[in-house]
Amino acid sequence: MSPTTRSNQDADHDPWSEWLFTRRQGGSELEPGAQAELMRYRNAVLAGAAIRPGEVVLDVGCGDGLIGFGALEAAGHDLHIIFSDISGDLLQRCTERAADLGVSDRCSFLESRAENLVGVPDRSVDVVTTRSVLIYVDQKEQALAEFFRVLRPGGRLSVMEPINRRMYPEPSHLFWGWDVSAVQELRNRVVAEFERASHTRLKAMMNFDENDLVRLAEDAGFVAVDLVLNVAVGRPKQRDWERLLHSSPNPFAPTLADAVISSLNEAQARRFLQALRTSVEAGIGRHHLAVAYLRASKR
């Protein structure tokens, strides 16, 4: 495989890169708590992958390289990583980072969809990893079939996915986990705006749970399928208000500020945002988080 392989994609707009570097945290660096959470996800995926020196790892939906560069660090650089993503901009970031780290000779970069890993030959990789990728894929069965196709016999799959069915819809007095009991009617209008803006992707984000992940892996042909579901319910974390106001929950959603502007008049927006800000800065509400970790192997 050549160091950089690209498929034909529409490059006019790249919501993935824009979200990851601009709108995920309101244009700011990740807050310490969010960074620590990402590290926990990365470490769990790598533990499930059980990567050994000398192997070839395909990181599907690599983003900015969290899993792939973590694997290189953990394995002492004695392996080859294929960074695969739908975003050419994110692959370029990974290419530059690999050069900065002096590991370009151990990396390849492939622009492709999870459900069509064009450029990856059959039975050519030892490990496939993903983190929060299937949640955006309509054809999940095809993605799992592709993961199975490219793995060698004895190869491993390690997946982490949020389970939205266990988190949404929220009770009507909560917004992103924070208490907005005093402005429930306004909250409902803001939520409806997020749903309207993201409607083309909502089905993929909501149409599966942990049981479906197990079924998908089994149907694709994987054996030794193991899934761990982590569900946490508790008080939401306090957040920096300005950062939150200009952030969005996924690559296809507006920022909180934009959703409020689109759904409420000026007076209503002030009321809603004041109620939300009070809860955000005091950490008032109830937060639900459900994450599934799946690992499997190919006979």
Whole-number average pLDDT of the chain: 92
* pLDDT at residue 37 greater than cutoff 50: yes
Phi, psi dihedrals of residue 258, rounded to the nearest 5°: -65, -40
Which one is predicted more confidently, 31 or 266?
Answer: 266
Which one is predicted more confidently, 33 or 99?
Answer: 99
* pLDDT at residue 1 greater than cutoff 50: no
Q: Which pLDDT score is estimated for 10?
A: 41
Please name each of the domains of the chain with its CATH number.
4-297 (3.40.50.150)
Among candidates 151, 167, 169, which has minimal Cα distance to 159? 151
CB 226 within 8 A of CB 295: yes
* pLDDT at residue 44 greater than cutoff 90: yes
pTM: 0.92
pLDDT band per the 50, 70, 90 thresholds, residue 48: very high
Q: Which pLDDT score is estimated for 12?
A: 57
Which one is predicted more confidently, 258 or 32?
Answer: 258
pLDDT by residue (tens digit) across 69-118? 999 998 877 899 999 999 999 999 999 999 999 999 999 999 999 999 99
What mean pLDDT comes out for the span 25-45?
87
